[in-house]
A and B are shown apart, each in its own frame.
Chain A
Amino acid sequence: MSALRVDPIACRAHGLCAELLPEAIDLDEWGYPVLRGGELPAGLLADARRAATACPALALRITTGR
């Protein structure tokens, strides 16, 4: 039960997240991430962690619910 979340204040539109996790993240026309939403498939969790670590603003979070 994991999901992605962006801290919108911290995000600076570097765009690395969409590069590393295109299956779950698009960029809008200004370069800010748009999450496809919903649950993160287990198969993407490792890539998601990598993307969260790579974010220069540390604005990408992985939330583990319940």
Chain B
Amino acid sequence: MRLLTDGPRTFAQHNAERGFVPWQRFSSRAALVDEVLASGLRGRGGGGFPTGLKLRAVTWRGPVVVANGCEGEPDSHKDHVLLSRSPHLVLDGMLVACHAIGAAEAVLCVHAGSPLLAGLIRALAERGPDANRIRIVEVPRRYVASEESALVNFLSGGDARPTTTPPRPTERGVDGRPTLVDNVETLAHLAIVARVGAEAFRAGETALVTTTGVHEVPVTTRLADLVTGPVLAGGYGGVWLSASRTGELTVAAAPGVAVFRSPQGCGLRDTAGILAYLAAESARQCGPCMFGLPAIAGDFAELAAEVPGHALERLRRRLPVVTGRGACAHPDGAVRMAASALDVFAAEVVAHTTGAGCTDAIRRTA
């Protein structure tokens, strides 16, 4: 069963096409969690954590389900496409998750002012009282606002900024209650697992990927069949992969969010632009991120613009210093991405620092 249909469906059409969620098969919550574990489903928000284990981790009373549909990743559009084309599958998945952990409350998060809102409100209104437990919340349009702990903090009445973990949301989340935060695509897959069972799910598992557009492909698809040349995989906090690596990796094994960006012009310039964005998107709570990222972005901008000096040496010194020293993984992702650019575009780095000059055509580093 696929995630995307060729066009919008009413709730009645959705059920006629896909069948109802077989609730009677999962009268026991443990049976449902076992099915999800057996399906091998993993989170699609970038963590790649087994969804079944996450469901099992929520044990306390009064739990909450949070569906993360914010898609803070600028290059990613898969959640947008999913929520506009298959909203009922996501809502089904939220109810399946509620059943699995015994939650009476679920929240669907999208960015403030999102064009998706009208359609989602309409989809919710189409459903019967089973959907009364679901509400839609608009989250500030910031890169870090949809990070798990920031989302939980915002839903508890605080700032949409990351907090220190532990405790994990599954232990203490929204208003101190155990909270399951899952990406909307993960929840849509959950609705499919509940319908077709673990075995059939494994046999036909797909993923939504964003390249130049959004596509639904089998998770066994090689990246080289989706993109050519070096590519930034996993969004702005992901890693640059050389062309040879994309031949080895499948979508299932790709790091982070399923976004694949080909460099626009010089890979170093492209990276410098992304770093400038990430530095500006720091929540400005932790020193190593607040000061480290702008410094690293500045060094990278000098390297990209072939400014004579010691930018490369500073980068080599600064990149390892930041990792693991923020409350969230925002700085870690940024420096990992920057370091991978120095590797993948090594030939370009040499051209930029030796006076040979930018070639502005990405040389593939074998």
**Chain A: residues with CB nearer than 8 A to chain B?**
6-9, 11-13, 28-32, 34
Contact = CB atoms under 8 A, between A and B. Distances in A.
Contacts of A31: 287
Question: Chain B CB within 10 Å — which of A7, A31, A32 has the most?
Answer: A32
Contacts of B312: none
Contacts of A12: 287
A28 B164 contact: no
Interface stretch (B136-144, B241-249, B319-327): B319-327
Given A30-B287, A32-B287, A9 B292 contact: no
A9 B164 CA distance: 7
B158 to A, nearest CB: 12
B321 A8 contact: no
B164 to A, nearest CB: 6
A66 to B, nearest CB: 15
Contact of A30 (B164, B285, B288): B288
Given A30-B291, A30-B292, A9 B285 contact: yes
Contacts of B289: 8
A9 B163 contact: yes
A48 to B, nearest CB: 18
A6 B289 CA distance: 14
A31 B292 CA distance: 11
Q: Nearest 5 A-B pairs (CB), nearest first? A: A8-B286, A32-B287, A30-B291, A9-B285, A8-B327
Contacts of A34: 321, 325
A30 B288 CA distance: 8
A14 to B, nearest CB: 11
Contacts of B295: 29-30
9 contacts: A8-B285, A8-B286, A8-B326, A9-B163, A9-B285, A11-B286, A29-B295, A31-B287, A32-B291
Dominant secondary structure at the A interface: loop
A8 B288 contact: yes
A30 B287 CA distance: 8
User: Chain B, interface size: which category?
Assistant: 10 to 19
Contacts of A29: 295, 318, 321
A31 to B, nearest CB: 7
A53 B16 CA distance: 65
A57 B326 CA distance: 16
A12 B290 CA distance: 12
A28 B321 contact: yes
Nearest to B326: A8
Contacts of A9: 163-164, 285-286, 327
Given A6-B325, A32-B291, 6 more contacts: A9-B164, A11-B287, A28-B288, A30-B295, A32-B325, A34-B321
Interface in B257-297: 285-289, 291-292, 295
A7 B321 CA distance: 17
A9 B290 CA distance: 11
A58 B293 CA distance: 25
A30 B291 CA distance: 7
B287 A7 contact: no
A8 B292 contact: no
A64 B321 CA distance: 25
Nearest to A8: B286
B285 A32 contact: no
A12 to B, nearest CB: 8
B147 to A, nearest CB: 13
A64 to B, nearest CB: 15
B317 to A, nearest CB: 9
Contacts of B321: 28-29, 34
Contacts of A7: 164
